[in-house]
Amino acid sequence: MATLKLKKAAGKAAPDKPARAPLRGAGSGVKKRPTLAQAQADRAEREARYQEQLRQRFGDQPPAEFTRRGEPPPMSRGKPPGRPTGDNKPRPTGPVATRRDEAQMQRPRRDPLPPARRAEPGAQRGGPNTAFGRPSQPAGPFGPRDTSSRNPNPRNPPPRNAGPRDAGHRDAPPRNTAFGNSRPAPQRRAERFERDDDEPVYHAEQPGSLRLSKRMSELGIASRREADEWIPKGWVRVDGEVVKELGSRVMPGQRITVDAQARHQQAQRVTVLINKPVGYVSGQAEDGYEPAYVLVKPENQWHDDNSGVRFLHTHLRGLAPAGRLDIDSVGLLVLTQDGRVAKQLIGENSEIEKEYLVRVQRADGTPLPDSELALLRHGLELDGEPLREAQVEWVNEDQLRFVLREGKKRQIRRMCEAVGLEVLGLKRVRIGRVMLGDLPTGQWRYLRPDEAF
């Protein structure tokens, strides 16, 4: 429980004590400001007391720091003699010399290092630093040490640079003395990577020479893309010598081999056969239509695929079509990672046959004359170029069988249009010795190891 205490009533002041002045602010009362005359008199009184204290302490000659501005400086009392200096020279009375570190701080910033960092001509190892045009300074207060009269110690071996170099030692690179450094200058990049004279270089354009990648493609060793990938890795040899330079050229008679690593990498590449449905393009997506390679996924793999290859997502990397099949056509489409397969199917000198079944009709409903059929086999031109000879024959009354050795854009459709035929359907059933067979539409399989185009 809290206790309440009441203040006692203030009693009346005693009659013999004066009444206290009221408090104002932090002071106890109003202080009267002195006049100018009173202030000057107070100052003169304080000055007189101060001077009296100085005379009592120091006498008639106070120290210089206590001398007033208007008074003359006191007389010098004289300096007691110091110790004898002997043979030492007196300290110069001129301006104090700038210390070495202060001079370095005051010195302007030097220019960037030269790119080569070569020693100046005629510079000596361990000599004065004259790289920035400054005069040489003595090494110490007594000047440079004179070593001409010193006799070498017979027990110590002579310095390495005292005599001529041994014939078996190779000349060292020039020493960098621009900054007082005795270490050898770094060797130039061109000297470090300079080729030996006996290293073969396959880049000279000799008459009749071919690019190494092109020659490998002609021999069927690899595609140009594969060759350009293997050469920098050192997997290609010409006459037993490793070639790592892209753009190297070889003669037709030189022997070209590849390492086992290249063979192993090539063996890991796959070829996929698709029965392409209508509505898919062969290459890149265009006009809103998807490319055929999007069908290559595990759920679309043919259940009767007996190639023995297990699906991996790496098989989709670099998978490219080897030949075209337009969006309205169906049938066998080849996608491959192997450049050799692509060159075999769509190379300039490819002789691989492609077989098609084409359902056609004439606008007037009449049968196709034999002369027009002969013209389909040989005699037509596309884009101003004559077509190669083709095999064309009737399978039934509305279906033709085409066997071509070339593949121009929409070639069969344009050939039929030239003789008055309208194409109702087109299906590719064979490429080389590989048949479409029973592969369902929209599904795919791997090319078996025992198959070849």
Catalytic residues: 326
**Contact present, 390 and 403 (Cβ < 8 Å):** yes
- CA–CA separation, 436 and 426 (whole Å): 14
Contacts of 208 (CB under 8 A, 6+ apart): 251, 252
- CA–CA separation, 84 and 369 (whole Å): 140
- CA–CA separation, 172 and 182 (whole Å): 13
Count of all residues that appear for the chain in the document:
453
- CA–CA separation, 276 and 427 (whole Å): 9
With helix as H, strand as E and coil as C, how does the chain read? CCCCCCCCCCCCCCCCCCCCCCCECCECCCCCCCCHHHHHHHHHHHHHHHHHHHHHHHCCCCCHHHCCCCCCCCCCCCCCCCCCCCCCCCCCCCCCCCCHHHHHHHCCCCCCCCCCCCCCCCCCCCCCCCCCCCCCCCCCCCCCCCCCCCCCCCCCCCCCCCCCCCCCCCCCCCECCCCCCCCECCCCHHHHCCCCCCCCCCCCCCCCCEEHHHHHHHCCCCCHHHHHHHCCCCCEEECCEECCCCCCEECCCCCEEECHHHHHHHHCCCEEEEEECCCCECCCCECCECEHHHHCCHHHECCCCCCCCCCCHHHHCCCEECCCCCCCCEEEEEEECCHHHHHHHHCCCCCCCEEEEEEEEECCCCCCCHHHHHHHHCCCEECCEECCCCEEEEEECCEEEEEECCCCCCHHHHHHHHCCEEEEEEEEEEECCEECCCCCCCCEEECCCCCCC
In the numeric block, the tokens 């110690």 are attached to: 153
- CA–CA separation, 249 and 303 (whole Å): 47
**Contact present, 302 and 443 (Cβ < 8 Å):** yes
